[in-house]
Amino acid sequence: MNALTDVQSGSRALLSGNEAVARAVWEAGATLATAYPGTPSTEILEVLARYPDVDAQWAVNEKVSLEVAIGGSLAGARTFCAMKHVGMNVAADALMSQTLAGVNGGLVIAIADDVGLSSSQNEQDSRYWGRFAHLPILEPADADEARAFTLAAYELSEQFNCPVILRLTTRVCHVKTVVTVGERLTMDNKGFIRDPRRWVMLPSNAKVMLPRQAERDVGLAAHAETSDLTTILPGDDASLGVIASGPAALSVREALPDAPILKLGLTHPIPVARIRAFAETVDQVLVVEETEPLVEQEVRAAGLTVIGKDLLPRHGELSVAVLRHALAVLRGETETPDTVAAAAGPDPTVFPRPPTMCPGCPHLTPFYCLSKLRKALLISGDIGCYTLGAGHPWQAMDTCTCMGASLTLAHGLAAAKGEADAKKGVVAVIGDSTFLHMGMQGLLNLVYNRANVTVMILDNRTVAMTGGQEHPGTGFDIHGDEAPRVDFAALVQAMGVKPERVHAIDPYDLPALFSLIRTETQVPEVSVIITNQPCVLTDRHVPHPALTVDEEACTGCGSCINTGCPAIEVTRRETTVTKAGHKKDLAFVRIDSAFCTGCNACVETCAPDAIVPLAPEAHPRLQRV
């Protein structure tokens, strides 16, 4: 998408929710925007970086990102911060204090919930943060509302002197809608207001702010009763009224076209009086919300009888099919109310395609080596492309919890392993961006407590899993301009790792990598192995001539398959009997040369030397050129 700054107010454009939020941040006159990449929120900052007059910056983690945005707000500017749902777990420390002090310039925090677990380790409902931090929650249903609600969020932030949370979901973030855009507002910077009693969060200062926060709660509750972000979608069938929010409200409209709907745009605080008045116009009330029963519980606490999660599932998207099935259950048309969650029907039968790493990925060989040393190791993993190392064919990961936890879990494993694991080495595997995000503290703790852990930093010079974004270890900023680049070897030595225990290695040199891992896991102290080849999907990667299989030389041993490279395909399988009378399964292979990057990892595994360079005249990529 272009910046669209030349599009006049009132023009229409087809935008995703992420693009619409970015547009609204620009239109609102914000001058600073920060984020850490995380699906489904990543594209918001990527799009914002294309707009003039907005300083868009990647941060090393969500806490840092929010604190930078808070600082910009204190300086008097409108600012913006974006993250996925688990990111607020990291940023919560800053949020919970700043909610007391408030803001100067408007501050909007977009939190994108991965409802349905498309690419996350858990499913959270970020509306809880509004209750926890005493902050308003705005919940758009589509891209057009995402733009309108973002603009409203800035007004609300400055009206009530607090950050405002814009709660998005994957469906809002990624689905496109026709959006009517506007022009950029001219906002005067208010300047920093020196007031230590407000900005310095000492206990004596914070105690004074608590009553003010309570007063703000009262004001926000009154505002919720009149907010035009909450609307009633009329319906002729008064037998059932629905309270809904976000994209679930659109599913309700499709599933129950005749039902009146109270569509909550401001979902915290809830408008109790409006809900009570709405309930009086219908026979029954159904609360439809993704994913937790927050509104349902608050409505029941107000003394109203409603139907909610006793009928609807507490996880996953509330699709039209799920809602129609729930309605059938409610009407007594089915005898299996416990099957509501499966109402969308069985999954179609398709050939299984488990996720895997890319052909030639520099993470293939580290996990190949770890899989070969599997019985002698405990392996603690982390969040990134390399999390796939837990799957087939490597199965070389024992734990994976959250960003940065590979080092700290490994620390605990090493410190408390029992007699059965006493002789096993402990390895922590982490990516470059994840290490900078939350891994450095774990390494410092390992060194300080003299732990016996081998740390593998898989540096592919990008935030690969979210689409190849920049970070402080790539040497470039969000605009592609050169920036200072972290020297990982120097960094870990500065944190106390002995120089002789720090090793940078080409991961494609498989024999050397295997030998290094085996050696370092036997050393009883902290050691660090840094792989140093870029992601194959970035322009930093330089492919080598593709490879092919000499079919006459191939013995079907299948060793190359264990690298996990998807460019290697099995063409046929056979079973033979050895001289000792044992059955032996053979797998003959070919290499899809169109995908092969020529990394040579498979060559190192091939005993009969059946994998050879492809002749240039047979190379598909060269033929296309």
Q: Which two three-digit tokens encode residue 248?
A: 């679930």
Q: Which amino acid is at 442?
A: G
CB atoms near residue 618 (< 10 Å): 11
Judge whether 101 and 198 are in contact, CB under 8 Å: yes
Q: Could you tell me which residues are beta bridge partners of residue 167?
A: 111
| DSSP-derived secondary structure for 521-565 | TTSSS-EEEEE----TTSTT--PPPPEEE-TTT-----GGGGG--
Residue 165 phi/psi, 5° resolution? Answer: -95, 125
Contacts of 152 (CB under 8 A, 6+ apart): 138, 229
Q: Where are the beta strands (DSSP E) in 63-139?
A: 79-84, 107-113, 137-138
Closest by Cα among 179, 105, 103 to 135: 103
Closest by Cα among 590, 592, 588, 564 to 574: 588
Is 400 annotated among the ligand-binding residues?
no
Is 81 annotated among the ligand-binding residues?
no
Q: Where are the beta strands (DSSP E) in 320-424?
A: 377-380
Closest by Cα among 140, 114, 154, 131 to 31: 154
Query: How far apart (Å, rounded) are the C-alpha atoms in residues 91 and 66?
Result: 7
Contacts of 267 (CB under 8 A, 6+ apart): 127, 130, 137, 138, 139, 167, 245, 246, 294, 295
Percentage helix, strand, coil, to 5, in the chain? 40, 20, 45
Judge whether 254 and 287 are in contact, CB under 8 Å: no
Query: How far apart (Å, rounded) are the C-alpha atoms in residues 268 and 216?
Result: 13
Query: How far apart (Å, rounded) are the C-alpha atoms in residues 69 and 164?
Result: 12
Is 557 annotated among the ligand-binding residues?
yes
Closest by Cα among 371, 606, 603 to 509: 603
Q: Which amino acid is at 553?
A: A
First to last CA, the chain: 28
Helices and strands (H, E) in the chain, number of each type? 21, 22
Q: Which amino acid is at 367?
A: F
Contacts of 355 (CB under 8 A, 6+ apart): 388, 391
Is 358 annotated among the ligand-binding residues?
no
Judge whether 383 and 402 are in contact, CB under 8 Å: yes
Q: Could you tell me which residues are beta bridge partners of residue 266?
A: 138
Binding residue numbers? 554, 557, 560, 565, 596, 599, 602, 606
Binding residue numbers for [4Fe-4S] cluster? 554, 557, 560, 565, 596, 599, 602, 606
